[in-house]
């Protein structure tokens, strides 16, 4: 067996994609599907951290999700750069919109997933991506949301109340040592989102640096969207990586 390490890339069916927004922009992204024609059991629509501070579709937790989850858990992973964001995949058209105009980007990603028939769609937002999820996701065709390191800088009580009204599940992983919002304050700030499952993660920081925390996050995501498939394997047969 071969241990899964930080840079391990497991087999998947990977496709470079583009999304078209309602205001006419082209966004670049990637769809990673289970290999060998296996149907996905669930779909992650990932919304990345703040692009003005280095966030993009390749932010490490999402990159590793796309490298691992299609093979290990039969989960589809949709990643894309929001407007004006660049990565090795390319640069999405448009300009950073402070989380407001990015609502069209969120809707374009969901529309793409629906059109492709990707099942059991979930938002996974990280930092700024949690703001996009909360501000623009409540009326979208998804099963629920997972929030990583939510800062609650832009999302307001009204956004939380809209999500609460849907009754759909929302899980927030809040690092104990987060720079912006730590668990005790998060419990107070998230009070309007009555169905929230808030998970305080001991020792973790905003950026989830280190394999220990990446594995914890990926296990939590999988446990939410594909119950019974976590914890994920930590090793694979040698021939998988050949």
Distance CA 92, CA 74 (A): 28
Q: What is the pTM of this model?
A: 0.98
- Of 136, 129, 143, 106, the residue nearest 208 (C-alpha): 129
pLDDT tens digits, one per residue of 111-165: 999 999 999 999 999 999 999 999 999 999 999 999 999 999 999 999 999 999 9
**What's the residue count for the chain?**
242
Please say whether the beta carbons of 56 and 91 come within 8 A: no
pLDDT tens digits, one per residue of 7-64: 999 999 999 999 999 999 999 999 999 999 999 999 999 999 999 999 999 999 999 9
pLDDT tops 90 at residue 1 = yes
Distance CA 148, CA 128 (A): 9
Which two three-digit tokens encode residue 146? 């997972």
Distance CA 173, CA 207 (A): 12
């Amino acid at each position: 067996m071969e241990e899964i390490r930080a840079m391990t890339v497991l087999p998947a069916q990977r496709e470079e994609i583009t999304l078209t927004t309602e205001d006419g922009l082209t966004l670049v992204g990637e769809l990673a599907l289970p290999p060998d024609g296996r149907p996905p059991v669930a779909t992650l629509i990932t919304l990345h951290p703040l692009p003005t501070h280095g966030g993009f579709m390749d932010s490490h937790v999402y990159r590793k999700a796309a490298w691992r989850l299609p093979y290990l858990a039969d989960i589809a992973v949709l990643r894309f750069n929001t407007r004006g964001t660049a990565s090795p995949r390319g640069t999405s058209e448009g300009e950073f919109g402070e989380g407001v105009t990015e609502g069209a980007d969120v809707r374009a990603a969901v529309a793409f997933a629906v059109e492709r028939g990707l099942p059991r769609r979930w938002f996974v937002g990280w930092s700024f991506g949690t703001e996009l999820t909360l501000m623009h996701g409540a009326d979208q065709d998804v099963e629920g949301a997972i929030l990583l390191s939510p800062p609650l800088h832009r999302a307001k009580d009204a956004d939380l109340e809209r999500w609460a009204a849907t009754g759909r599940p929302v899980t927030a992983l809040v690092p104990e040592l987060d720079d912006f919002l730590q668990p005790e304050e998060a419990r107070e700030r998230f009070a309007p989102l009555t169905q929230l499952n808030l998970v305080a993660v001991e020792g973790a920081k905003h950026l989830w640096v280190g394999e220990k925390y990446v594995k914890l996050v990926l296990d939590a995501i999988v446990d939410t969207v594909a119950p019974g498939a976590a914890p994920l394997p930590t090793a694979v047969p040698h021939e998988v990586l050949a």
